Structure 1
Amino acid sequence: MSERGPCTDTNCDNEIKELYQCHCCLKRVCLTHLIEHVGIRKQNKQRLNNLRYELNTGINTLNLIVEEKLFIIKREQNLIEQAKQLVDTSNSTIDELQNSIEQINLTILSNRPDITNEVEISENDKHSTSINHNVLNNISSNENMEFDK
């Protein structure tokens, strides 16, 4: 049911018009502003839906990234455990130890692209790759300084 009076929308003139209660803001407004309010509400609802969809997409993507990282961490923890067993076993072969060293060094390199250039062939054994650990220590020290700031 409508009544007559001035529209309460601030953009409307003060003429007496048929007024309707807006279900969005509960104010009495003219038909023109009632239609405008409904349009704005529809736009806001669509925007909220779009933002929810975008947020949900981001959540799903981040979840996949985290799951992949967790898988990699488990694989790397397994590599550490296997290497520890080789260290603790007195009958480990040279090939097993070299293979484990190579896998660990490759894993370190895959996690630390900033030290890729510091890989060098060991002078004692052409089949073994080693990492310049002084570089690793310097990088770790620099990172600790950054965290202390």
Structure 2
Amino acid sequence: MITRSPAETRAAGQAFARQLQAGDVVLLEGPLGSGKTLFVQGIAEGLGASALVTSPSFVLLQEYPLSAERVLRHLDLYRLHDPTVDLDRLGLPELLADPQAITVVEWADRMPVEALAKESRRVHVRFEHGQRENERTLDIDRPQ
């Protein structure tokens, strides 16, 4: 998929949100400034989150209530120094295994594969800068 503006990247996230269900883990990978956080903003809007989504780079994790039972978790692993230690400290394996949460992980390539629960439904989304200034290429692998 190619988006040509920040608004299109956000709209792609909104459309993508329609296929998500509780327990899903969305793994985002791509260089700085490639649209990952905009995409997450769209996901949050598509799921009905009322709070404005911001990058959790400095706190690693933000949670946005979706209903009394469901929550959107947004993790940004960019600043992790030792993913194994830092993720254990965050309680990541438990967070990722939560059947009531939809979890979106930016910089997922910094996370050890074994942190993912075997039963979680995973979707990989890879972002690349396009040929033009605001153009982005999103490669979305369907749920596994």
**Shorter-chain TM-score: what band?**
under 0.3
- Which protein has the bigger helix share? 1
- Which protein has the bigger strand share? 2
**TM-score normalized by the length of structure 1:** 0.22
* Higher RCO (C-alpha under 8 Å, 6+ residues apart): 2
